[in-house]
Amino acid sequence: MLDLADLHRHLDGSLRRSTFRELAAAIGHEAPDDLRFFAGMGLDDALACFVHTLAVLQTPATVERVAREICEDAAADGVTTLEIRFAPQLHRGAPPAAIVDAALAGLDGRAGLLLCGLYGEDPAILEGLVDIAASRPGIVGIDLAGGPAGEHTFHLEDYAAPYRRAAELGLGRTVHAGEGRPPEEIRIAIEVLGAQRIGHGTTLLGDPAVTELVLERGVTIEACPTSNVHVGAIARVQDHPLKRWLALGIKACVCTDNPFFSHVTSSSELGVAERELGLDPAAITQVLANGHAAAFSRR
């Protein structure tokens, strides 16, 4: 079995289905029978699905349990380098620090933890997450998740200050950018926020200058092919630019994003890359090496 790497996996999108049903029943939460993403549903509708998983993950105990089970499931799938990310401010059954500590207890050193700010949030919220991370070495990085919306008061550039502080603390920095949106978003994430990795980045090749920037800075792209089809960032998995990225020397790895909603595993996504995108054994080896090498660690 290959040693797999998954650097982009959301805690609230990675529950076991049996655990979700159990936790939902315990609080009387009703959800669609087949709660899952589907091709072309769009990012807004995909994000709306999280209301159901977040509903059952409001307490430290449930967060710890799901974090533990994610690690168990990833290990069983052959994942040896794993990072989990979530936005503790959305789990309101305890203060964010207590929610973070619960996640760390569940991970128990088996995965790095990333804390997510959300597009449109007051940057002070992300500042607070960086404060929490400062004293907890199990937190290896920060992220900005979700996507921009017209009604947002705060824009991508407004998160530069917490990203600078994260860099000073030795935290890794990644940003959801270019997820079917203009590649200018990727440029801002790298040049203004200091992102070392980019989540999704499907439009990267749309601007040669941004492509060159990614190559010059050695930025790693967290590719999530099935998820990208689901949110409509690409029309078909065969259209994913991963193979072209690798041919250009861009560092890219394959990740799951939200196994619960997309019905994927790390090994199945690697299979998609091999079968649907035509990655040969050398390219698969490179993808895995990129993932292991790009994992964040506290310096």
Residues assigned a catalytic role? 179
Give DSSP secondary structure letters for 136-203: -TTEEEEEEES---TT-SS-GGGGHHHHHHHHHTT-EEEEEE-SSS-THHHHHHHHTT--SEEEE-TT
| 180 close to 203: Cβ distance less than 8 angstroms | yes
What are residue 296's phi and psi, to 5 degrees?
Answer: -80, 145
Q: Which two tokens stand for residue 258?
A: 């939200």
181 phi-psi bin (left φ>0, alpha ψ -120 to 50, beta other): beta
Q: 173-206: string of b/e by CB count within 10 Å (b at 16+)?
A: bbbbbbbebebbbbbbbbebbebbbbbbbbbbbe
| Sign for the pseudo-dihedral over CA of 56, 159, 8, 108 | negative
Residues ≥6 apart with Cβ < 8 Å to 273 = 223, 225, 242, 254, 279, 283, 284, 287
Nearest-Å Rg of the Cα atoms of the chain is 18
Is 82 in a helix, a strand, or coil? strand
Using alpha carbons, select from 125, 88, 89 the residue that is nearest to residue 106: 88
Tell me which DSSP letter residue 280 carries.
-
| 96 close to 139: Cβ distance less than 8 angstroms | no
